Structure 1
Amino acid sequence: MTGEAPLTLDAGFTADPFPALAELLAGGPVRHVVLPDGSEHWAVSRYADAVRVLTDPRMGSEARRALTPAGAAPGRSHPGDHMMNGTLMDRDPPSHTRLRRLVGRMLAARVERMGPRIQEITDELLDALEGQQHADLVEALAFPLPIRVIGELLGVPHRDLPGLRRIGGDLLGFVTDQRSARDARATLSRTREYLALLIAAKRSRPGHDLLSELVAAQAADGRRISDDELLAMALLLLVGGHETTVQLIGTGVLTLLTHPRQLAALRRDPAALLPGTIDELLRFDGPTSPGLFRYTLDDVEVGGVTIPRGSRVLIVLGAANRDPRRFPHPDLFDIGRQDNPHVAFGHGAHFCLGARLARLEGRVAIGSLLKRFPDLRLAVEPDELTWRFASVRGPDTLPVELGAPRPADPGD
Structure 2
Amino acid sequence: MTGTPRRGRTRGRERGRPAPGRARRVPLSPCRRPRRHLQLIPSAVDEMPRIEVPGDGASIWVATEDVELPSGPVRKGEAVIPSFVGPNNDPLVNDDPRRFRLDRENPTHLTFGWGPHFCLGATLARVELREVLGMLTERFPGLALAEPPDEIGWTATAIRRPTRLLVRLR
Q: TM-score range by the shorter chain?
A: 0.5 to 0.7
SS in 2 for 1:361: helix
| Residue of structure 2 aligned with 1:342, choices 87, 109, 117 | 109
Cα distance in structure 2, aligned partners of 1:322 and 1:297? 24
Matches of residues 197-236 of structure 1 in structure 2 within 5 Å?
none
SS in 2 for 1:386: coil
SS in 1 for 2:91: coil
Q: Which has the larger radius of gyration?
A: 2
Which residue in 1 is equivalent to 2:81? 314
Alignment pair present for 1:356 and 2:135: no
Which residue in 2 is equivalent to 1:294? 60
Provide closer, same or farther for how the CA distance between residues 304 and 388 of structure 1 changes in structure 2, counting only shifts above 3 A. closer
Percent identity between matched residues is 37
Deviation of 1:357 (Å): 0.6
SS in 1 for 2:41: helix
Which residue in 2 is equivalent to 1:388? 155
Tell me the amino acid that sits aligned with residue 122 of structure 2: A
Tell me the amino acid that sits aligned with residue 272 of structure 1: Q
Cα distance in structure 1, aligned partners of 2:70 and 2:103? 32
SS in 2 for 1:301: strand
Please list every run of at least 4 consecutive aligned residues from structure 1 whose deviation after the TM superposition is greater than 4 angstroms: none
Deviation of 1:270 (Å): 4.0
Cα distance in structure 2, aligned partners of 1:390 and 1:399? 21
Deviation of 1:369 (Å): 0.7
Deviation of 1:355 (Å): 0.5
Deviation of 1:364 (Å): 0.8
Structure 2: runs of 5+ lacking an equivalent = 1-22, 25-33
C-alpha distance after superposition, 1:353-386 (max 9, x if no partner): 1011110110111121122112222234434433
Which residue in 2 is equivalent to 1:282? 49
Cα distance in structure 1, aligned partners of 2:36 and 2:61? 44
Q: Is this contact kept in 1: 2:38–2:137, CA < 8 A?
A: no
SS in 1 for 2:123: helix
Cα distance in structure 2, aligned partners of 1:340 and 1:364? 20
Tell me the amino acid that sits aligned with residue 351 of structure 1: F
Structure 1: runs of 5+ lacking an equivalent = 1-129, 132-266, 404-412
**TM-score, normalised via structure 1 length:** 0.30
Which residue in 2 is equivalent to 1:160? none
Which residue in 2 is equivalent to 1:50? none
Cα distance in structure 2, aligned partners of 1:310 and 1:391? 27
Using CA pairs below 8 Å that are at least 6 residues apart, which structure has the higher relative contact order? 1
Alignment RMSD, CA only? 2.5
Provide closer, same or farther for how the CA distance between residues 309 and 338 of structure 1 changes in structure 2, counting only shifts above 3 A. same
Deviation of 1:352 (Å): 0.8
